[in-house]
Amino acid sequence: MNATIGTIDRPLTHDPLKQAPMTAHTTSEKPHGSATADFITTGAITSRQNRTREMQLIPEALARAHMEDRMREVDAERRALRLVAARRMQRRAERVSMRARRALAMAVMH
């Protein structure tokens, strides 16, 4: 039985760093239209590095998005508290104004 290294559809591992590197042809004849070994290997390494860099940045991006959401929530809560305080002060001012009117009316009547 022949040991299969892995295929494109069923790789031996999904970890790009543990995958077997691409090897160049041993003979001088290459299939028609094939890329050079340097280009293939370099491209694979570059794509692996980009993929791992992107994967490493995902948690940072998630954390940043989470913090932005929390900041929006905090700002909304702060605005709501300011609105409640402003309404409370407005009611207090209206009560003081009514007392002042009553006091003025009482002073005028006597």
Distances in whole angstroms, Cα of residue 108 to Cα of each of 28, 48, 96, 97, 102 = 116, 89, 18, 16, 10
Q: Convert the pLDDT of each residue in 55-66 to its tens digit.
A: 888 899 999 999
pTM greater than 0.75: no
- Rounded to an integer, what distance in angstroms lies between the CA atom of residue 45 and that of residue 3? 25
C-alpha–C-alpha distance, residues 26 and 35, integer Å: 14
Query: pLDDT tens-digit profile of 20-47?
Result: 665 555 555 555 555 555 555 566 666 6
2-17 pLDDT per residue, tens? 555 666 666 666 666 6
